[in-house]
Amino acid sequence: MRERRWALIAAFHGGAELVRRPRREAEGRVGEYLRGAGRLEAYVEEQLRGRAWEIRQLTVTIEDALSAGMVEEEEAWEIILRGARVNQARSRSWEEHGEVWIADIEGVSDGRASGVGEARDMVAAAEAAGLPWELDLGGRRFLRATCPVCGAPTCRPAPTAFVDCDVCAALVGYDFERARAAGLPQPGPAYEALRAELAPLLASSAIHDYRRAQVQLYDAFVEACPAACPIRVRDPDYRARHVAYLAEGATRSAFDRRARELEGAMNATVAALVFEHGRCRPDTFRALCDAVFALEARRDELHVEHGVYAMHPGGASRDLQRAIGNSLFAQGWLPYLDDATGAELLARTGLALAYCTAPPPPTRAIACEHCDATVDVVAAARRVVCTCCGRITAAAAAT
């Protein structure tokens, strides 16, 4: 239903011709419109302040700009949606929009605008198709990323902060905004009780005892906080590998003398933090940050040395694993930082990410081959993570 609505917006507000036209033809047409304005951005702003027919003209130009490779598809959509929102704000119904549009055309005497008939037909068709005038035109915001395996760009929000490729199911990125929105994980009293119970093992100098305790703890964490984990942990095999990976990372740090020293230094900076009006004083927070990143750098070395990165069950890159590892620290401290310090923290943690807004892509329903659940997949999907059982299921394109 939602896809149908977007198709209708495309048809009646613009965007229906977001198809590749021959590049040379498209360039020529964009060039014609840009001659006066100079730059595409300037042209867009000017048209958005214009009358209804000028907004209509803008959407056609943007379709050409896409074909000419001057904008990306997400940008094209964002501009078209801005135009549609201007239309929406100016009128209360399709009928009124049609009247405004036609009056605009008739008010132009220099002959640049035409298409009274086109405007009438389009408004009548939009009404007949049942497209609500007040439809939410916000688009959906999601992490902008490209799949490292198949090259597909992200095109819609993922169910958790762990973003899997919609085409081949590889882990593509980590959506920090999403993680923040979900809040800090609270494993709860059962987890705390287990930690107390495991205290002797956690104090043990035998690495296998310590590792065994960490496996139990991380497994309890996954149980208590599924929202803080990849959706794939619903698959028992993936979950076991995810837990083993986390436990190994923690164990290697705990049994490294240098890492323990750095952790001690970090705790000292926490004790030295100064708060003013509920915010951390920036210089004291910077000292904590330096200590945290010194420890993180040592953990990075240990992860490489002991093959921990290679244990990641989703095959994430080293950079991505480091960013995910920094997430809880950044999430926990951001509320206590001023804007500049917060931005600096995100840049240092690799969590300052690009987002984009776009209408939902067309999807098709498939049945998961493991659990029979119905999963909505994008048209080009080949393998996808089932949102119900967390396993990877084939999603061969419909023939």
Chain residues that interact with Zn ion, rule: CB under 5 A:
147, 149-150, 152, 165, 167-168, 170, 368, 370-371, 373, 386, 388-389
Q: Which is nearer to Zn ion, 48 or 388 (CB)?
A: 388
Residue with tokens 């229906």: 16
- Provide CB contacts within 8 A for 79, sequence distance 6+: 44, 58, 59, 62, 71
Residue 343: CB minimum distance to Zn ion, A: 30
C-alpha torsion 45→48→54→57, nearest 10:
70
Residue pair 370/386 in contact by the 8 Å Cβ criterion: yes
Q: Which is nearer to Zn ion, 7 or 371 (CB)?
A: 371
Partnered with residue 374 across adjacent β-strands are 367
Pairing of strands 140-143, 162-164: unpaired
Q: Which is nearer to Zn ion, 33 or 142 (CB)?
A: 142
Residue pair 63/76 in contact by the 8 Å Cβ criterion: yes
Q: Which is nearer to Zn ion, 169 or 247 (CB)?
A: 169
Q: Give the DSSP H/E element, type plus range, for residue 143.
A: strand 140-143
Q: Which is nearer to Zn ion, 274 or 373 (CB)?
A: 373
Residue pair 233/223 in contact by the 8 Å Cβ criterion: no
Residue 160: CB minimum distance to Zn ion, A: 16
| Token reading at 176 | 């920090």
Residue pair 333/278 in contact by the 8 Å Cβ criterion: no
Residue 204: CB minimum distance to Zn ion, A: 39
Residue 376: CB minimum distance to Zn ion, A: 13
Q: Which is nearer to Zn ion, 42 or 373 (CB)?
A: 373
- Provide CB contacts within 8 A for 291, sequence distance 6+: 262, 265, 266, 268, 269
Residue 167: CB minimum distance to Zn ion, A: 5
Q: Which is nearer to Zn ion, 259 or 392 (CB)?
A: 392
Residue 393: CB minimum distance to Zn ion, A: 6
Number of H helices and E strands in the chain, helices first, is 16, 10
Residue 234: CB minimum distance to Zn ion, A: 8
| Token reading at 165 | 């490729």
- Exposed (0-12), middle (13-18) or buried (19+): which is 320, by Cβ within 10 Å? buried
Cα angle 87, 89, 93 (rounded to 5 degrees) comes to 70
Partnered with residue 178 across adjacent β-strands are none
Q: Which is nearer to Zn ion, 179 or 395 (CB)?
A: 395
Q: Which is nearer to Zn ion, 152 or 246 (CB)?
A: 152
Q: Which is nearer to Zn ion, 168 or 324 (CB)?
A: 168
| Token reading at 68 | 């000419």
CA distance 164 to 238: 14
| Token reading at 193 | 């009780």
Residue 274: CB minimum distance to Zn ion, A: 46
| Token reading at 325 | 């590892």
Helix 282-305 and helix 339-349, axial crossing angle in degrees, nearest 10? 10
Residue 165: CB minimum distance to Zn ion, A: 3
Residue 149: CB minimum distance to Zn ion, A: 5
